[in-house]
Structure 1
Amino acid sequence: MMNGRKNNLKDGSALILSLWLLLLTSNIWANYFSIPHFDKSLTQIKPDTTKPVRALDTIPKKADSLRRIADTIHSKDTVINKTDTVNVPASEDSLDAPVAYKASDSMVLNVPDKKITLFSKANIKYKDMDLSADSIEMDNQKQLVTATYRKDTAGKIIGKPVMLQSGSKMNSDVIKYNFKSQKGITENTMTIQGEMLVIGEKVKKINDKDYYAYRSQFTTCNLDTPHFAFRANKMKMVSQKLAVSGPIHPEFEGVPVPIYLPFGFFPLSQGRHSGILPPQFSQSEQFGLGLEGLGYYKVLNDNFDVTLRSNLYSYGGYSLFATPTYRVRYRYNGSMNLAYQYSRILSSGTEQEFTTSKTYSINWSHTVDSRARPGQTFSANVNIASTKFNQLIPNNPQANFTNTLSSSIAYSKTWGSRYNLTATANHSQNNQTQDINLSLPNLAFTVNTFYPLQKKEFTGTPKWYEKLGIGYNGTAANQMNFKEKDFSVRTLLDTLQWGAQHSIPIQLSLPPLGALQISPGISYQEKWYSRKMYRSWDSVNYKIDTSITKGLYRSSDLSFSLGVNTALYGMFDKFGKKSPIAAIRHVIRPNISFSYKPDLGSKFYQNVQVDTAFGKAPGQGHYQRFSYFDGSIYGAPSSGVFGGIGFGIDNNIEAKVRSKKDTANGGLKKIRLIDGFGFTSSYNYLADSFKLAPFSLYIRSTLFEKINITAGATMDPYQTDTFGYRINRYTWQSSKFGYKKSLGRITNGNIAISTSFQSSNVKDKKAAQAKEDALRQQGGVLTAEEQQMQLAYARANPAEFADFNVPWSLSLSYSMSFSKSIKPDYSGWQTQTFQNLSWNGDFNLTPKWKFGMNGYYDIKASKIQQFSMYISREMHCWQLSINVTPVGLYRTFNFTISPKSGILRDLRLNRTRYFYQ
């Protein structure tokens, strides 16, 4: 509390209360000869228009012994005249709502002039108006409020007036406001309207939403001296709606630009509103000059809107895009993206001048709120396009190399906790091979595991047979495969095939025997097919002929199993007290299963000659075993009898290290060395050959919490002949010790290594966290299709999304895979290998300049398939970006300088050029 003022707030409040009581009692005029009139009083008394009520006087009247010369009592008896206290007329100068005021220092009350002055951190609240300043003066006679600031001894401004009303914020040097008319005038004012800042020498407020500004500036730069602004002599603003002005011109760094417009119109409305979408210019030797992105956004109602865009090129090519979106709160939401491209590209050959093509794309995303219909779900994610559509998208290297597309539509319904029905429609296509696969409709009905022998009410320990469970899984599917160029209704009917599969699993959970867990099981499976495929060797043309017959065919499988698994733990902690490693723990989880499966599928297989390796006489060649149902929806049934064991071991290794920074848990910190590694295989005692199945090897780890490693391989324990075909002889059974003697042959494998690094000295951690939270919240609001569109735009224009808060970052990934498969003509075996390296990184050249790059290198082809780089310049409220893609299907160059604000996003300078390879 400051004592340098005249009165403190407590004494002032007591004085106001005393004056209020005095004014209330000042209207009792029984002891006065005449009634004075206070026309301007806050509590002016008007004539009582209520009808007086006379009370019954039960006291007998007595003679008055006193002689009165002049009766000062009015003719009307004040005893029997009552005032109606329920409907007291209000004063003409009173307010229609209470005023709440406060100050941290003191308050001065001027009774004769009816003024109250608040000092130091003063605040007044009236209806939806909230006014704060260093000092505020309230004139009750004029119903006028004046707010000002003060300067300290160093000349620093303290308590600059701020007024909030109807969602608008106003900062001024002086604010004068009338309570009754809600009009006001301010000096040197800055008000925020959405993303816009309006600075006016004088601003007049005529009601709660309309303002007039004199000598104003309109900008999105939030500095006291903005980097850029639009200047106008006169301007009118409608809060949160629009701003209009007379002649207007821009200025940069206080320097006016000699470009004048006759008027200015700035929309300030929040939310969605219809409008024209401006284009950007581009230039290409193959497409010509272009206008890209020209369109219109239309809001039809609260639940539906549509965006129309187009790309126009001088060589005659064009693209049309329609993106409608719809939403019903608490029920569903979705969006579509329909695109049509007519590409007319300047040809590099001499046969024809232009190469033309017509392509299309259909995207649909639909999501249903789980609360709309409990027990039912529906979702759709459709992505269908011409196989060359992605290749003809300019300035998007990621889309140019996307060769696979897929779609899915799913509906499911659940009855209680036992039954579930699912209907789906799927689509997939390979843009490189032009293969398209349609699978629709697909049905799946599931009966969750139930226990028929279990009692309805548990009493005591359940019996072992009460844990006998049984379930059911049934599916039916239809499938069509064709090339894009062969698409027709006849092709769909010719390639149509259907199938069904039924599975009845029976399981039993037995009580554990010490550390062993035993799980027996029985499974019956039946498959239905719509066609058979027969293969035969053509001894004349030396090739395999195939023929297909359609009908209804079935196969069945039956298996019995008994599984046993356990876990073993090992600890080594003899490292010494000074060792950084305290202990290493090794967990081994072996599992073994015994199973028997009768041979119910051998009758659906045939042995067919595939080559003439040993001569061209009949029978002199290698034979392959084929199923009549190869290529069917649910695959061929297994052949041969199986009676043996399946086995595998899973391991993981962890370590406890001593940490000097983290003192929790005794200063010990647990880290993972190897998340998991092991193998699985099986041995068939009843097979006549190849009893030992190939080994499946795997390992996964996260080294130093940074490097992710995943690897896998398949090892075949049998030898091969000179043509690459397996022979029934183990690799370690070689006649002499040599390079061929080993544990097995690696037939296929893969490895993936990825890591990412980032500067630890983030400039502003709070800003980084706020940005991450905003992106997370935005991701929850946007649909999956909208997120993919924004991600594609960010990848195509990385410079516009540069994060200067992180000094540097780097991401690396390497992948390699190889597999051995028989050649398409069955003439032998071939090994296919794929290796690639990709990177993505950026760093700050200076606090305001950032450089970044990303690329993809094909090690097998020894060629950089895609490479792009960018440079970005931070300019506070503006941003300069340069994107260059020198390698790829499109070689592009893009230069853009634009405001950061979304409302001025289309006010940009853009230069784009690209070259189609």
Structure 2
Amino acid sequence: MNKLCKCKVRLKNVLKVAFSIVALLISHQQTFSYPNYNFFLAKTWPAYFYRTDTIVPVIDSATIRTLDTTVAVVKDTLRNTTDTLTLSKDSLTAPIAYHAKDSFVFLVPQKQLYLHGNANAKTEGATSAESVDITANTIFYDNATNIVRAWGGTDTAKKALNLPTIIQGESKSIMDTISFNLKTQKGIFKNTYYNEGEIFVNAEIVKKVDKDVAFAYNGRFTTCNLDEPHFALRARKLKLITNKLAVSGPAIPEFESVPMPVAIPFGIYPMQRGRHSGVIPPQFTQNSSMGLGLEGLGYYKVINDYWDVTFRGNLYSYFGYTVNVSPQYYKRYRYRGRFSFNYQNTRTLNESTIIPDEFISNKSFQVNWSHSMDSKARPGVSFSASVNAGSSGFNRNIPNNPYKNFQNQMSSSIAYSKSWQDGKYNLSMQANHNQNNMTKLINVQLPTLSFSTTTFNPFQNKESAGTPKWYENFGIGYNGTLLNQFSFYDTAFSFKHLLDTTQWGAQHNIPITLALPALGPLMISPSVSYSENWMSRKIYRKWNASEEKVDTINKKGLYIARQMSFGLSANTRIFGTFNFRKGKILALRHEIRPTISASYSPNMARSYYEELQIDKRGNKMMVSQYDGNLFGGFSNMAFGGLNFGIDNLLEMKMRNDNDTTGLDENLTKKIRLIDGLSINSGYNFLADSMQWQPISISMRTSLFDNKLSVTSNATIDQYAVNPETGIRTSQLLWSRGHLGNLTNASLALSTSFSSKKKDERKDKERVPIDPSLTMDEQQRQIEYVRQNASEFVDFNIPWNLSASVAVNYYRQQMANYRGVQNIFNASLNLSGDFSITPKWKAGGSTYFDLKTLQMNMLTLFISREMHCWQLSINVTPVGPWKSFSIVLNPKAGILRDLRINRTRNFGGY
């Protein structure tokens, strides 16, 4: 006692005294309880990692009496403690927080602590990797050596209870026993189950040499979290480096606990989270046109926090290759973007007898760039880019991607816009591009400048009070566009030809409006508009009698065309309801929205219209000298007449079977039969002939609870056409009993059906996203899933089907003025999948040309759900590139490149 009081009081001694007081208070009130934690363990960790033969140290009754005496002595010495406080050099760098469900006992002379019953000890470090959280049935702590020992217990059924668990950083381990140094973070763990990210390791003995490095003996490495894993890699020696990688010596794979008769000499398993550089392994493929190949070989490089770049390449035995460079950039709250450059040097086997060469070589490239700017980065300013340009034959030379093979249209847009004074003034600059891979024609519009102002009211008072005067609603605005364009063919590019095809033009429009007060149900709006087009060339045409064709001469310069129009419009809405007394149909509701407008446009285009002979018979037609410009001339006919139209909405209310009265609105069902049916036309009182304007009809609706979407359009011309020249005549077809000639029409049907989900939870709840991934990395994973749909089949939906039909027809005058030609196109798209069994799913998609009655593309797949593995078989029997592939690989992203694949391609362009 005296010796204890004479020593200097250190922080550890003060803690011991405090712990003694707490122990005395708790020892009289502590309730012993042993809750059942097996349910939690069974739900969290696989059962095969538990051991029921754990040895639990036992403290005999004599030791307990000694502990009680020691506690009493310490309590008595508290009255005479007056020493100063000093810190020991061997003390811990951070305090330890601990608790126990049963009890805790202090051995003051030995500087030891026992925690019993669901015990926990936690120390906070400078980083998460230095923080340690230990939970066990019993924890023993030796303050002199900083050693922590922990072991589990058993319940009444002799099952494992509260096995030692240690959490350090993002790693978690469950084991039989722990012997761990809190200061050096070295330790020995037996029968350890270790988890970090997607990796699960079970080892007989784990030796931790510091806070980041551990060695395992007789380890089993897997990404399957079942009690009995479907697969694993068993190695005698393993080295684990936290958040970096795991390295093993010779390893033997096993499936369903059955070792395979193969072995890998060593294994390197990356465990680093987030973005990190590394090699991208290739996959082997066989192509009858290109030879044997390695596809996807590359390297991913992290440049800094904002940039990374991916290099990929394909190599083929016929000396063909492709190269892809894809840098990405992202700055939070500012912008994000991705650039991709692809170069193809294809060398395919010649299967044609016309060309004597053994191989056919083709070089092509493609550039893709996408950029988006955060709207909060610079309010009022936006910049975006979507570039998709390259050689016309690039898409046709991509194997195993029939969707790309049939993509014949490519377009690009780079846009910058700025607004002032809360959007009153807007300026935009654009660079646009479009190309047709079939005709190989490329059009580039650079630059395109647009300036506009919102309608402002010059007579409106800045501080208005009461009802505004009618003239205060007078508004005026401005819209202007300046455009420059040049065109060329992919196969015949030359700088001289580029200059010859360069065009520029400008368009100005000044609308003037006046919103008058409503006259009952009518809304009347007068308007005045002035338009002016600037053009860069004129076209002079002349009939060449000797060669029997029309010769053209282009003359460059500045040419201006003007037009004014005056109008007065009115619109209203009419409602009608028809009720039914019997049957399931309660009522039909019809809404009519008629519009009518009177307008006048004088003929201000006489000077640039001329009469042209188009054939040797002497047939003539009026043509404009401004045809072919970016902004052409206006009509050479004065218009003074009416434009009218009507739009219809039709709804039906049905009675629910549970409602016999039809009065409960909650039990009735409203169905839209027609979302919109509009008919528009006009009549020109000033025209000498052909006064009627073509009839325009459009209809849209959604049927069967929005399962079937229908959209259709049609244009009917009421006047006859000369079949020899394709020119409209003044003969009204109504006099013959015909409504008119159909000049263009389109019909689009689309539908999608799917079965009820097995699990009604949201996808994010069923498949949680790794929170350690950035938004950009999550987006890349989503894009990977979209591009490899057969590898990520949703078994939560037993079946789904999508279908669309598109029919297009239009009639146009032939280029040589020798009649009209009718063009018809129709196509059918089908896609879907269905579950053969709860673990097998099959599906596919096809594109069928209804005009030629040919199937242009067909892809089929069958997938097998194997919990931690996935199997997909893909077949493309119809298309530019016919292929067959089998892919078997783990689902875990860390082992995504560990795949077994067999790919064969047949044919090509």
Normalised-by-shorter TM-score class? 0.7 to 0.9
The aligned residue for residue 7 of structure 2 is none
- Cα deviation, 1:844-892, whole Å, max 9, x if unaligned, reads 1111111111100001011000001011111221111111101101111
- Cα deviation, 1:630-685, whole Å, max 9, x if unaligned, reads 12112332221111111111111223334468999532333322111121111111
SS of residue matched to 2:870:
strand
Alignment map for 1:334-349 (pairs within 5 Å)? 334-349=337-352
SS of residue matched to 1:491:
helix
The aligned residue for residue 457 of structure 2 is 451
Output the amino acid matched with 1:793: Q
SS of residue matched to 1:635:
coil
The aligned residue for residue 198 of structure 1 is 201
Output the amino acid matched with 1:624: M
The aligned residue for residue 689 of structure 1 is 689
Alignment map for 1:534-573 (pairs within 5 Å)? 534-573=540-579
The aligned residue for residue 621 of structure 2 is 624
Separation in structure 2 between the aligned mates of residue 732 and residue 402 of structure 1, nearest angstrom: 43
- Cα 1:160–1:627 change in 2 (3 A) is farther
- Cα 1:370–1:137 change in 2 (3 A) is same
Separation in structure 2 between the aligned mates of residue 227 and residue 887 of structure 1, nearest angstrom: 36
Output the amino acid matched with 1:709: V
Contact kept, 8 Å, 1:152 with 1:158, in 2: the verdict is: yes
Alignment map for 1:570-719 (pairs within 5 Å)? 570-576=576-582, 579-612=583-616, 616=617, 619=618, 621=619, 623-659=620-656, 665-704=665-704, 705-719=706-720
The aligned residue for residue 765 of structure 2 is 770
Contact kept, 8 Å, 1:532 with 1:629, in 2: the verdict is: yes
Contact kept, 8 Å, 1:396 with 1:792, in 2: the verdict is: no
Separation in structure 1 between the aligned mates of residue 282 and residue 769 of structure 2, nearest angstrom: 28
- Cα 1:809–1:521 change in 2 (3 A) is same
The aligned residue for residue 221 of structure 2 is 218
Alignment map for 1:187-266 (pairs within 5 Å)? 187-266=190-269
| TM-aligned CA deviation for residue 744 of structure 1 | 2.7
The aligned residue for residue 838 of structure 2 is 847
- Cα 1:725–1:869 change in 2 (3 A) is same
Alignment map for 1:41-190 (pairs within 5 Å)? 88-90=85-87, 95-103=92-100, 105-109=101-105, 121-127=118-124, 128-138=131-141, 143-153=146-156, 157-190=160-193
Output the amino acid matched with 1:751: L
SS of residue matched to 2:836:
strand
Output the amino acid matched with 1:688: D
Contact kept, 8 Å, 2:585 with 2:655, in 1: the verdict is: yes
| TM-aligned CA deviation for residue 368 of structure 1 | 2.3
Separation in structure 2 between the aligned mates of residue 776 and residue 383 of structure 1, nearest angstrom: 32
The aligned residue for residue 863 of structure 1 is 854
Output the amino acid matched with 1:249: I
- Cα deviation, 1:10-58, whole Å, max 9, x if unaligned, reads 82499999999984762655xxxxxxxxxxxxxxx8xxxxxxxxxxxxx
- Cα 1:106–1:451 change in 2 (3 A) is same
The aligned residue for residue 755 of structure 2 is 759
| TM-aligned CA deviation for residue 349 of structure 1 | 2.5
Contact kept, 8 Å, 1:659 with 1:669, in 2: the verdict is: yes
SS of residue matched to 1:765:
coil
Output the amino acid matched with 2:375: S
Separation in structure 2 between the aligned mates of residue 908 and residue 343 of structure 1, nearest angstrom: 26
Larger-gyration structure (1/2): 1
- Cα 1:394–1:19 change in 2 (3 A) is same
Output the amino acid matched with 2:640: G
- Cα 1:143–1:549 change in 2 (3 A) is same
- Cα deviation, 1:348-402, whole Å, max 9, x if unaligned, reads 1232211111111111122222333222211111111111111111111001110
Separation in structure 2 between the aligned mates of residue 147 and residue 852 of structure 1, nearest angstrom: 54
Separation in structure 2 between the aligned mates of residue 773 and residue 908 of structure 1, nearest angstrom: 24
Separation in structure 1 between the aligned mates of residue 68 and residue 741 of structure 2, nearest angstrom: 100
Output the amino acid matched with 1:606: E
Q: Decide which of 800, 812, 825 is 1:834's aligned counterpart.
A: 825
- Cα deviation, 1:307-345, whole Å, max 9, x if unaligned, reads 111111111211111112223333322221111111111
SS of residue matched to 1:493:
helix
The aligned residue for residue 815 of structure 1 is 806
- Cα deviation, 1:124-160, whole Å, max 9, x if unaligned, reads 3322333334554556666554444445455654444
| TM-aligned CA deviation for residue 463 of structure 1 | 0.9
| TM-aligned CA deviation for residue 521 of structure 1 | 1.0
The aligned residue for residue 273 of structure 2 is 270
- Cα deviation, 1:610-638, whole Å, max 9, x if unaligned, reads 234xxx4xx2x3x3332111121123322
Output the amino acid matched with 1:397: P
Contact kept, 8 Å, 2:274 with 2:772, in 1: the verdict is: no
Separation in structure 2 between the aligned mates of residue 276 and residue 175 of structure 1, nearest angstrom: 37
- Cα 1:156–1:582 change in 2 (3 A) is farther
Deviates more, 1:650-659 or 1:154-163: 154-163
Alignment map for 1:387-426 (pairs within 5 Å)? 387-417=392-422, 418-426=424-432
Alignment map for 1:467-546 (pairs within 5 Å)? 467-546=473-552
- Cα 1:132–1:650 change in 2 (3 A) is farther
Output the amino acid matched with 1:434: K
The aligned residue for residue 353 of structure 1 is 358
Contact kept, 8 Å, 1:194 with 1:268, in 2: the verdict is: yes
The aligned residue for residue 787 of structure 2 is 793
**How large is the Cα RMSD of the aligned pairs?**
3.1
Contact kept, 8 Å, 1:408 with 1:424, in 2: the verdict is: yes
Output the amino acid matched with 2:595: N
Output the amino acid matched with 2:185: Q
| TM-aligned CA deviation for residue 543 of structure 1 | 1.5
TM-score when normalising by structure 1: 0.86
- Cα deviation, 1:162-208, whole Å, max 9, x if unaligned, reads 32221211122333444344333323222222221111122233433
Contact kept, 8 Å, 1:166 with 1:209, in 2: the verdict is: no
Separation in structure 2 between the aligned mates of residue 783 and residue 183 of structure 1, nearest angstrom: 36
Separation in structure 1 between the aligned mates of residue 93 and residue 557 of structure 2, nearest angstrom: 87
- Cα deviation, 1:398-420, whole Å, max 9, x if unaligned, reads 01110010011111121222211
SS of residue matched to 1:455:
coil
| TM-aligned CA deviation for residue 468 of structure 1 | 1.0
Output the amino acid matched with 2:716: M
- Cα 1:525–1:25 change in 2 (3 A) is farther
SS of residue matched to 1:714:
strand
Output the amino acid matched with 2:188: I
| TM-aligned CA deviation for residue 556 of structure 1 | 0.6
Contact kept, 8 Å, 2:269 with 2:894, in 1: the verdict is: no
Output the amino acid matched with 1:389: F
Q: How many residues are aligned here?
A: 837
Matched, 1:897 2:888: yes
SS of residue matched to 2:644:
strand
Output the amino acid matched with 1:322: V
- Cα deviation, 1:246-301, whole Å, max 9, x if unaligned, reads 33332222222343444332221112222222211111221111111122222222
Contact kept, 8 Å, 2:274 with 2:774, in 1: the verdict is: no
SS of residue matched to 1:485:
coil
| TM-aligned CA deviation for residue 686 of structure 1 | 0.9
Contact kept, 8 Å, 1:570 with 1:586, in 2: the verdict is: yes
Matched, 1:881 2:883: no
Separation in structure 1 between the aligned mates of residue 98 and residue 664 of structure 2, nearest angstrom: 51
Contact kept, 8 Å, 1:365 with 1:783, in 2: the verdict is: no
- Cα 1:632–1:20 change in 2 (3 A) is farther
| TM-aligned CA deviation for residue 507 of structure 1 | 0.9
Contact kept, 8 Å, 1:166 with 1:208, in 2: the verdict is: no
SS of residue matched to 2:528:
strand
- Cα 1:788–1:685 change in 2 (3 A) is farther
- Cα 1:531–1:205 change in 2 (3 A) is same
